[in-house]
Amino acid sequence: MSFTDPTEAVPTQLRTAEFMLRPIEADDAEADYAAVMETREDLRLWEQSTWPEDDFTLAANREDLARLESRHGEHRAFTFTVRDAADIECVGCVYVFPTTAAFLTKAAVTDLGDLGWTELGAVVYFWVRASRLASGLDERLLAALRTWFAEEWMLAPTVYVTNEQYRHQVKLLERTDLTLRFELREPGKPGAYLAYG
């Protein structure tokens, strides 16, 4: 499937005994903000930016989520909030992009294997709330995402991206059977992004 085609149905939920994913909405701002601010040191490494700044506000977060919700509805890219099983607390976020996303077209992409960048079905980024890392939630989320994309999205191949400076997530991806496929360098960002598939 081509998930940027608005006539194509896109999966709307992933549920396990521990967590669930659903499309993010502006009304998720308060729960998302709590998770973002708790995880801001990791997110700055992951984003290679100063976001979220220490003075980042709930109102600014609501504006960000409204943009993500709109983008999702327009089939340009998809953002899912990761919630606990009771759908009370935000425990992370998942972002799904086509290779044609504006920020990706500006990146210098180095192919490290036999897979072409334009052959990809999706480019996936994810993060997990800092307080949930010790329990291994990120590992279980990654495993669930891999199954979800293969079986429900029918997107193959898919790559999972992190920044080389976010060592925790690099180590997570390297513990799997995924292979480093691409290196991406975005203008103005010091660290390379690593795509595993």
Q: Is the dihedral of CA 121, 161, 189, 73 positive or negative?
A: positive
What total number of domains does the chain contain?
1
Structural domain span for residue 88? 14-196
Average pLDDT for residues 139-165, to the nearest whole number?
Answer: 94
Report whether pLDDT(176) > 60: yes
CATH of the domain at 125: 3.40.630.30
Report whether pLDDT(16) > 80: yes
Q: Are 196 and 179 in contact (CB under 8 A)?
A: yes
Report whether pLDDT(117) > 70: yes
In a domain, 3, yes or no: no
Report whether pLDDT(155) > 60: yes
Query: Is residue 6 reached through a cis peptide bond, with omega within 30 degrees of 0 on the bond before it?
Result: no
**Average pLDDT of the chain, as a whole number:** 95
pLDDT category of residue 126 using cuts at 50, 70 and 90: very high
In a domain, 67, yes or no: yes
Average pLDDT for residues 178-197, to the nearest whole number?
Answer: 96
Tell me what pLDDT residue 1 has.
Answer: 55
Average pLDDT for residues 57-64, to the nearest whole number?
Answer: 98
Average pLDDT for residues 116-137, to the nearest whole number?
Answer: 96
In a domain, 183, yes or no: yes
**CA–CA dist 5, 3 (Å, integer):** 5
Report whether pLDDT(2) > 80: no
Report whether pLDDT(4) > 80: no
Per-position DSSP letters for the chain, written without gaps between them: --TTSTTS-----EE-SSEEEEE--GGGHHHHHHHHHHTHHHHHHHHTSSPSPTT--HHHHHHHHHHHHHHHHTTS-EEEEEEETTS-SEEEEEEEE-TTSHHHHTSEEEE-SS--GGG-SEEEEEEE-GGGTTTTHHHHHHHHHHHHIIIII---SEEEEEETT-HHHHHHHHTSS--EEEEEE-TT-SSPEEEE-
In a domain, 5, yes or no: no
In a domain, 4, yes or no: no
In a domain, 150, yes or no: yes
Tell me what pLDDT residue 154 has.
Answer: 83
In a domain, 105, yes or no: yes
pLDDT category of residue 9 using cuts at 50, 70 and 90: confident
| Phi, psi angles (nearest 5°) of residue 58 | -60, -40
**CA–CA dist 93, 88 (Å, integer):** 14
Report whether pLDDT(139) > 60: yes
In a domain, 140, yes or no: yes
pLDDT tens digit string along 79-110? 999 999 999 999 999 999 999 999 999 999 99
